[in-house]
Chain A
Amino acid sequence: MLPSRFEYHRPDSLEEALHLLAEHGDEAKVLAGGQSLIPVMKLRLAAPAHLVDIGRLGLDTIAEADGNLAIGALARHRDLERSDLLDARYPVMAAAAPLISDPIVRNLGTIGGSLCHADPAGDWGSVMLALQGSVVLRSERGERELPISEFFQDTFTTALEPDEILTEVRVPQPAGPSGGTYLKLERKVGDFATVATAIHLSLTDGTIERAGIGLTAVGSKNLQAADAEASLAGAEPTEAAFAEAGRLAAEASSPVTDVRGSADYKRHVVDVYVRRGLDRALEMARAA
């Protein structure tokens, strides 16, 4: 299908973009890479009267500053995929980037757009939960920073106000020895995840300082496996501990039976992928 009619705006600056959103409120949607929004508009599941194209406003730097990794909202998946910095210091992100959709979509899709779309099958959301990331939201009224767990409210629903633009994503810099990965089961490249897990592990004196576990496509939004994480905090990184974490993560997920598999199957994959991800993360952390 074709999208319904809309008025198209291409502001030359972030200030102009924010002004347009202040003016048009919830009749407007922000267009970044368009790789989620345009398909939704073609299905007419969304029919905004105004589109504010921010695709040429830059906002795509990837750099460490003030104890954080700061990523511009318009950083394309392909840029994150090719980032040496992510490869070296943010392995969960480095593992996830190449698994998002397909290489052509990754040329346009952005991390900010992905997070604002808030698809429970979105990959960056689980990564941000595992890494305790946060988002910076700007409007004409000012700027605020929200932890990602507060940003995601429900399926395709975030805390973003109609006059706000997500401008930056922040991830805390790694403190001590740590590792992580992203494991994704999909029927084919480009399909949504059947199940995916984002795993982060940091060690202190050989015991687990913190474990971050984000789950994709097994709930109404990206899930944080909080009980599994709690079971690992301060614990010895043993096979038994990882098995328990896998079990708790599977329990915390609420997948639906659909063409990609039964709920039982998906829950089982969560268990397996959490354990496997923790093993890999531990290996990396010990080698660090």
Chain B
Amino acid sequence: MEITVKVNGADRSADVEPRMLLAHLIREEFGLTGTHVGCDTTSCGACTVLLDGRPIKSCTMFGVQADGREVTTVEGLLQDGQLHPIQAAFKQEHGLQCGFCTPGMMLTGSALLAENPSPSEDEVRWAISGNICRCTGYMNIVKAIQAAGHDMAAGPAETADATVAS
């Protein structure tokens, strides 16, 4: 089946079997390997991407369901060579160790901040409860997401300082 998905702002087309999972469409057809396949049982969230701005588990959707829709992967966070504030914050706050869960965490975090620019710790933990991290114990992930929210509210100048100061 021929489909076209807008991935990170650009139309990408492919001819795929309906049973191809969105995660595999993204990784194998579109070559974007920042989206990870972790548990394959809809539990871990390492495969999280944004579908029309909302976090979804790409291992639990068929690629054909995304036909005509917008998908944002972790690669889409980078804009004109500039780190997205959430990427800068994960770097600054050491919000990752092995990095396997990180794309999912950042996308879920960015979606949270779009809805709630200044979340409490509880609100962050609730929002990322569909993303599992085996390395960090979550503390710095929470800090990173809150810091990103703070940086985004503060405006572009402050965000640039944050990336330079690492």
| Residues in chain A within 8 A of chain B (CB atoms) | 1-8, 10, 31, 34-35, 38-39, 41-42, 51, 53, 55, 101-105, 107-108, 189-190
| Contact A4:B19 (CB < 8 A) given known A38-B61, A104-B45 | yes
Interface pair B130/A102, CB less than 8 Å apart: yes
- A-binding segment of B49-57, B135-143, B158-166: B49-57
Instruction: Considering the complex, give the chain B residue whose CB is closest to the CB of A55.
Output: B65
Interface pair A35/B42, CB less than 8 Å apart: yes
Interface pair A42/B40, CB less than 8 Å apart: yes
In this complex, the member of A53, A103, A104 whose beta carbon has the largest number of chain B beta carbons within 10 angstroms is A104
Instruction: Considering the complex, give the chain B residue whose CB is closest to the CB of A191.
Output: B43
Residues of A within 8 A of B17 (CB): 5
3 nearest A-B pairs in the assembled complex, by CB-CB distance: A102-B130, A8-B18, A104-B130
Interface pair A51/B130, CB less than 8 Å apart: no
Interface residues on B, range: 20 to 34
Instruction: Out of A38, A107, A189, name the residue touching B62 (CB < 8 Å).
Output: A38
DSSP class of A's interface residues: helix, strand, loop or mixed?
Answer: loop
Residues of A within 8 A of B41 (CB): 39
The docked-state distance in angstroms from the alpha carbon of A35 to that of B126 is 19
The docked-state distance in angstroms from the alpha carbon of A189 to that of B108 is 16
The docked-state distance in angstroms from the alpha carbon of A10 to that of B68 is 12
**Could you list 7 A-B pairs, sorted by A, with CB under 8 Å?**
A7-B18, A35-B42, A53-B65, A55-B65, A103-B108, A104-B56, A189-B129
Instruction: Considering the complex, give the chain B residue whose CB is closest to the CB of A78.
Output: B54
Residues of B within 8 A of A104 (CB): 45, 48, 55-57, 108, 130-131
Residues of A within 8 A of B154 (CB): none
**B64 contacts chain A at the CB level, 8 A cutoff:** yes
In this complex, the member of A4, A5, A35, A103 whose beta carbon has the largest number of chain B beta carbons within 10 angstroms is A103
Residues of B within 8 A of A39 (CB): 41-42, 60
| Contact A105:B130 (CB < 8 A) given known A8-B64, A42-B40, A190-B43 | yes
The docked-state distance in angstroms from the alpha carbon of A101 to that of B17 is 28
Instruction: Out of A4, A6, A34, A103, name the residue touching B129 (CB < 8 Å).
Output: A103
Given A42-B21, A53-B65, A103-B126, 17 other A-B residues pairs in contact with their CB atoms under 8 A:
A2-B19, A2-B21, A5-B18, A6-B19, A7-B18, A8-B1, A8-B62, A35-B42, A35-B60, A38-B60, A39-B41, A39-B60, A103-B55, A104-B48, A107-B51, A108-B56, A190-B130
B81 to chain A, nearest CB (A): 29
Interface pair A102/B129, CB less than 8 Å apart: yes
